[in-house]
Each structure stands twice: as structure tokens, then as C-alpha cells.
Structure 1
Amino acid sequence: MGDQKYINTTYSSYYGYYYLQDNTRGSGIFTYDGRNRTVLPGSLWTDGDNQFSASYDAAAVDAHYYAGVVYDYYKNVHGRLSYDGSNAAIRSTVHYGRGYNNAFWNGSQMVYGDGDGQTFLPFSGGIDVVGHELTHAVTDYTAGLVYQNESGAINEAMSDIFGTLVEFYANRNPDWEIGEDIYTPGIAGDALRSMSDPAKYGDPDHYSKRYTGTQDNGGVHTNSGIINKAAYLLSQGGVHYGVSVTGIGRDKMGKIFYRALVYYLTPTSNFSQLRAACVQAAADLYGSTSQEVNSVKQAFNAVGVY
């Protein structure tokens, strides 16, 4: 998105093209051109001079580069090799559909719309969005959280948490907001969601305010705010609904949620079971009488999850 990035490509002497194929990470990172159609994956991205400087190239460069950052984050921070833990290739398609206002993991690859230019810019331009969607793949291969009701809200929160931690890892204007780089280009300072203050965008920040209807698979993008707030408080500390939380920092927070996701959560885990999973993960990592365990309990107390 308007800046310079250095990416790994592959040259074919036979065809005389450079491909968006990074062979330095796992089984490779491959980025495809959807050509505004909806057939996946599309064609592997090619370029004649290895510069990828055309405006049409930007979405592909972002998807390719940020997929590499997400791979590096999971490998270097958590010792995880790609989303499946076994170095699966990471495939992304950009320019999916026309003015398509979404991005998604379809079970085998990443897909990014270009946005309509008003509500959204091309989705691959947000590193937290790329981290969010690829974390859905990690969740698929670990806890397998069912995408409905509380388990679905945990699924969404895990993607917001690790999408944000990837953004901090890359140190690209990091913050506790989700999608700020690609949302409403004409309006400064807003985002899709906030982890530090979910209520800013109408999401609940306490269990007593949870959504109990049936829309959005039982409010998976809404009730995730409750868990996002707990994760934020665990990292940064603060007082919320009169409950004081001692922050333990982003790195420890991430390690606790990752361990809970990989070892303790099941497909149907609810919020209360997530709390227990995080308490156990913190005890494993830092000891059962540690400040970290106490802070996990405080953070979930603060959002009304027991």
C-alpha cells in the first residue's frame, strides 16, 4: 500500500518471468491473481522485471510479504512451522471478484477482495487482517473451534489477538485496533474493531453485555470483543468494571493464548472453558502460583467470565 517492500520471488528462465513464489519459507508462499473473477486459486502472479511496481501489483505484493511475516511470527515466536505445524505451503489469491468487501480463509488458501474503495481498500493491505485470516487456519489445525456462538467468538478473538501480535512483531504502526489500514480510507482514525475498547465500535466488553441473538453465527464478530478485552487487559493491565488487572506484556499474553489454543481448547469450548485453558496454560509456563496466573484470573474476572 504505497510503500516499498522486499519480497522473495522465483525466476523461470524458460518463460522469462518472475513469479510470486517464496521458496525460503516452509513449502513455499505462493500468491495468485484472481483477475476479478471468483475461480480459485487463479494464476500464479508473474512479472517481467521483478519490480512489481504497478498499482495493480500492490495487493499481491502486500499479500505475499505479509504472509511471510505471519510465517516468521509463528515460527520464531511459537516454534510453529506454517499454519498446520508441518510447513504447509501458504497460498493467497488477490483481486478476488469485483469490489469484493471481504477476505477469508477457505480451508485451503487465503482469499482477498479489493474492497469497493469507499468502505474498504484491498484487504491484503492490512497486516493485522492477513494475520487474522491465517490464524483461522492455525485454529482449524489445532482447537478446531466451531464457528458459532461462544466457540465461534473465541475463534474470532484468537484471530484478532494474533493478527494484532503479528502487527506488533512486524512493528508496522502497531496498535490494538483491527483493520484500521484498510477500512474507510476517507475517514481517519477508525477501524473495524478495537481490542482496547471494544465498545468504541459497538462490541461488548463484558459478559453481561454479550449478544444472544442468532445473527452472525450467534455474534461471533461481536462477542469476540469480550475475549479481546480480556487479552488486552492481560497484556497491558488496567481497571475495568472496578476490577484491577496487572499487565504481563504482549509476549507472555501471546504465549498463554497460543498454548491454550493448541493444547487445551476443543471444538465446542465456551468462554468459561477458555478461562480455564488460559489459567492452565499460564500455570504450565510460569508456575501455578505465578503473577501470570493471577493476572489471567483478573483479566477474565474483569470481563465477567468465570
Structure 2
Amino acid sequence: MRSLSKKQRISALAATAALVVAGITAGTASAGQSAKESTAKAGAQPAALSAVQKTQLIKKADSTAAKAADAKALGLGSKEKLQVKDVIKNEDGATHVRYERTYDGMPVLGGDLVVHKSKSGKQTGVDRSSDAKMAVSTQGVSKSAKPATPKAKGSKAPRQVVFAMKGKPVLAWETVKGGLQKSGAPSQLHIITDAKTGKKLDQYQGIQEADGTGTSQYAGEVKLTTDGSDGNFTLTDKSRGGSKTTNLENSESGDGKEFTDKDNKWGTGKPEDAQTAAVDAHFGGAATWDFYKDEFKREGIAGDGKGAPSRVHYGDNYVNAFWDDSCFCMTYGDGEGNKAPLTAIDVTGHEMSHGVTSATAGLEYAGESGGLNEATSDIFGTAVEFHAKNKEDVGDFLIGEKIDINGDGSPLRYMDKPSKDGNSLDEWSSDAGNVDVHYSSGIANHFFFLLSMGSGKSELNGVEYDSPTSDGSTVKGIGITKAQQIWFKALTENMTANTDYADARKATVKASDDLFGKDSTESKAVEASWTGVAVK
């Protein structure tokens, strides 16, 4: 668990940075990328494929020989068969084959998995929806347990399936009930029942209506992806891995109570309305998901396509928000006087990025690696805010400026000159590992600002900056898009649990070399930015 509460109640919140900035020279900010600038080399980023190439890739993966080899390597039983759903190919030739599964000819709901392979075709890993062993008996199936086919228009007769979404796989029936939802939209309500007892195991709506709408406290009027039917909508986002936002109702444990709404219009913009904080959290969670998917083709925080739960209204007057690895979930307090929930976009992006770090480098939350952990969340929380392009909460390099924890309208942290908050470090020193990680993060935050915007005076989205360097040197920025690409590649490929600032310099230089070429403008900027914060 990573708590935000520290000295003066300063939280570990997301920093903000510009996705639109590129080709920045010291003291200026430009919205476009120069045509003369180098672009990333082929590597771990998703490859651009034509429709024909995509089809050929899937056809190759779907061959009998390829599927049999993967099934054998995965240790699947003789009754289990794989069906290719999708294939992603990276620029370096690595592939990620997404399979659905059948058992004895029946679809396995929750049996999907992703097999990762190197360029040579060797399996390098697998992500499974369920780790349970598929050993389902057809004995004891009751004819009376088979549901009747619903009469409503659009209904489908029951089909036999293996239900492996929750716990031990069981034989089940899947029935689709048609008709109309209360809102007037068509209905495809999938109902899963136990084939032996007739007990309902699960249900979900196959027709996703137009997005709901929400009135948030920090982001204004926003679109929300919700779920539900018959006037019983919930803050569940199946398009983003089943992400769900729940209400802890001031408790400090549990999964929280499901939010429901009749007309799919959520919140009032006022903190007194319990739905308002949920709107901000749900919107921020979606914005974070979209950022990682759009920028890095990463499906979900762990890269497994699964959503991360968000819980709001934690405790009473709780001036905090935190990510918890044990539940892989986000939790938000309501702030001072329960009037300022810590649910702004940058907070969400920051906290959920702790999950990305946990799933990749696993930077230990202490010493210099802890500072890098915090800075990683500041960096990507920054990028999430810019990527969201929300008119009410525009991108900037101010951290936590919306939630006003200090009570005077000032942000929590500043990326251009971290020491302006009175605690954070502008540059590295031998004592950096002994400083609270929320303040030693300033070193990498400052590095990232220099790499993105450059040193000296600049202005972006109405915010003025003036970023110094430790040695008085001038640094030219390369833009936030390239800077975040470098940091993400370094985090996911080069950093380890005990990476310190010197190691981080090496990791980001290597990442930049891989992306843009050794001695490229970008790699030189990386080195100059680290030197600018006294990391050599």
C-alpha cells in the first residue's frame, strides 16, 4: 500500500506534463514536432500492420500446428482447444497471441489467455484469465436445469458452456434474453446458470448503450462508460476490463457498495452528492486506461486486459488516496471536511501508475528507488492529464493543483523547480536516499521537465515556468511524447527493484538509444537533463 499522507499532508499525487509539446527549446514551448527530428526506431512498440498483414498474422497463429504447440507448452488437457482471437506484433518481432478456449467442444467463459513469444517464436510468458484446471464432468446434469428459450425478440436458445469466470470451472448454460432495456435500447442479457442446479451464476448485458454522463467536481461534464439495464445502471466499465467504482461509505475496508443510478446521469458536481467523487474517479480511471492503451498499447494497468477497481469515500475527513497491490485497486479519501475528494485526473493517473510500476520494474518503495517510484507516478500522472485533454483540468506541470490540500490554492509539487514546495529536491546529492520518497522524487520530476520542456523560462496552457539546472547549463527539451516513451521503455525493460538515480540515468540513456539511436538528439538531451539535476 502506498499512502499519500506525509509532512504537511502532502500527497503522492500525479504530476502534470504536456503531450502536445515537442521540439521545445530552452525558454519556449512549441505544439508541433519538427519534421527534422528523429523518430523512434523499431523495437518493443506495437508494429503498424495493414489489414492484410494482420489477417496473415492471425492465420499463421491459428494454424493447427501452432495451436497444438502452444497447448502442449501450456500443459492443457486433451479436451482443451485454443481459438485465436487476436495477435499483436511488436516492432522487434515479438508477438502476443490472444486465445479463447474450448473444453470438449464447449466455449470456456473465462478461459481466455495471452501467450507471449519472442521473434524466434519461443514462448516467453503467458497471461491467463483463469489459472484453474479445466476438469469438468457432465455427470449429474439435470434436464430440468436447462433454461427455456426466452420468447422476447432477439433471444437465443441456451448453449452449454464451461463457466470459469469465478472459482472452480463448472458446466453451465448461457441464455441470451432479448427485448428492450428500460431506456429503449435493445437488450442482449446473457444469463449464466449452473447446468446441475439451475442456480444463476452470472449475468451481463451484451448491448452497450451510449455512454452515461457525469457532473464531476474537477473535470466538469464528462462522458462515463457504465453498465446495466432496466434503469439499474452501475459504474462498471466492461470496455476497459471491467473497471468498477464503488462506495466505501466512510468505512476503511471491504470492496465497497455498488453505485446504482436509474437514468445514467451521475453526480451534481457537489461533494455532498456521493456520486460526484465517483464520477471523477471513474472518469480518471478511464482516462488512465486510455493513456496506456493509446500511447503504449498496454491493455490495463497490469497489461492483462483487466480493470482495476476504484473505491471512493474512504474513512472520514481522510486527506489521502492510495494504491494497494494486495487488491490491485485504487482508494480515495474525501479530503478536509469531506469537501475535497482526492479524485482529480492527475491523482488517478499517479496512483494507478503505481500499479504499472508494481507490474514491471517493482521499484522498492524506499531510498532512491522509492523516489523513482514516486516520480514515475508523477510523470505518468502528468501524461494522463495531458492525454485526457479535459477543458476544466488542462495539462500542466503542477502537481495536485485541483484538490487544494494546502488550503491556499497552491499545488503540492512543481516539476520545473521542485524545491518551490519547500521540501522537494531539485537535484541529486549523496543524501537523496535518506529523504522522504515524495520529496526525493523531485530529482526525477525535474529531469523529466527538463527533458520535455527544456531549461529556463517557458509557458504552456497559461502556466509560466522557470526551470534551473544545477550547473547553469542550458537544456533543450524534446517534447513530452518522446520523454514519456523513453521513461516507459526504461521502466519496463531496464529498471529493477533497487534501481537508484545513477542506474536510472543508464536505463533512460539505453532506452533512448534503442528508440532513437545512439548519439541521437534525444539521447544527448537525456544525458544533458540528468546532468542538469546533478546525476552523472
Question: For this structure pair, what is the TM-score category when the shorter chain's length is used for normalisation?
Answer: over 0.9
Conserved 8 A contact 1:74-1:81:
yes
1:28-107 alignment runs, 5 A limit = 28-54=242-268, 55-107=273-325
Ranges in structure 2 where 5+ consecutive residues have no aligned partner: 1-216, 456-467
Conserved 8 A contact 2:406-2:412:
no
**One-letter code of the match for 1:240?**
T
Other structure's SS at 2:265 match: coil
Shifted more, 202-211 versus 289-298: the winner is 202-211
Higher helix share: 1
Conserved 8 A contact 1:41-1:92:
no
Partner of 1:222: 439
Partner of 1:5: 222
Question: How many Å separate the matches in 2 of 1:70 and 1:201?
Answer: 26
Partner of 2:232: 17
> How big is the shift at 1:212?
5.2
> How big is the shift at 1:186?
4.7
Partner of 1:255: 485
> How big is the shift at 1:211?
4.4
Partner of 1:135: 353
Question: How many Å separate the matches in 2 of 1:161 and 1:245?
Answer: 19
Distance 1:209 1:117, change over 3 A: farther
Question: How many Å separate the matches in 1 of 2:433 and 2:444?
Answer: 16
Question: How many Å separate the matches in 2 of 1:161 and 1:77?
Answer: 14
> How big is the shift at 1:49?
2.2
**One-letter code of the match for 2:533?**
V
Alpha-carbon RMSD: 1.6
Work out whether 1:183 is the aligned partner of 2:397: no
Rg larger for: 2
> How big is the shift at 1:12?
3.7
Distance 1:40 1:28, change over 3 A: same
Partner of 1:152: 370
Partner of 2:454: 237
Partner of 1:295: 525
Question: How many Å separate the matches in 2 of 1:72 and 1:78?
Answer: 10
**One-letter code of the match for 1:24?**
S
**One-letter code of the match for 1:228?**
N
Ranges in structure 1 where 5+ consecutive residues have no aligned partner: none
Relative contact order higher in (CA < 8 Å, ≥ 6 apart)? 2
Correspondent of 1:271 among 496, 501, 509: 501
Report Cα offsets for 1:273-301 as digits up to 9, x if no partner. Answer: 00000000000000002000000000000
Question: How many Å separate the matches in 2 of 1:261 and 1:111?
Answer: 24
Question: How many Å separate the matches in 2 of 1:286 and 1:210?
Answer: 33
Higher strand share: 2
Report Cα offsets for 1:44-93 as digits up to 9, x if no partner. Answer: 21112211134221100110111001000000001111111111222000
Normalization by structure 1: what TM-score? 0.93
Other structure's SS at 1:94 match: strand
Other structure's SS at 1:6 match: strand
Q: How many residues align?
A: 296
Conserved 8 A contact 1:132-1:163:
yes
Other structure's SS at 1:153 match: helix
Report Cα offsets for 1:190-236 as digits up to 9, x if no partner. Answer: 111111110110211011385454xxxx4100110011000000000
Report Cα offsets for 1:141-180 as digits up to 9, x if no partner. Answer: 0000000000000000000000011111112311101111
Distance 1:278 1:211, change over 3 A: closer
**Aligned-pair identity (%):** 40
Partner of 2:172: none
Partner of 1:246: 476
Question: How many Å separate the matches in 1 of 2:330 and 2:382?
Answer: 18
**One-letter code of the match for 2:238?**
N
> How big is the shift at 1:246?
1.4
Partner of 1:173: 394
Question: How many Å separate the matches in 2 of 1:186 and 1:139?
Answer: 31
Correspondent of 1:284 among 503, 514, 528: 514
Conserved 8 A contact 1:168-1:174:
yes
Other structure's SS at 1:208 match: coil
Distance 1:85 1:212, change over 3 A: closer
**One-letter code of the match for 1:58?**
T
**One-letter code of the match for 1:23?**
K
**One-letter code of the match for 1:222?**
Y
Question: How many Å separate the matches in 2 of 1:185 and 1:246?
Answer: 33
> How big is the shift at 1:117?
3.7
Shifted more, 272-281 versus 237-246: the winner is 237-246
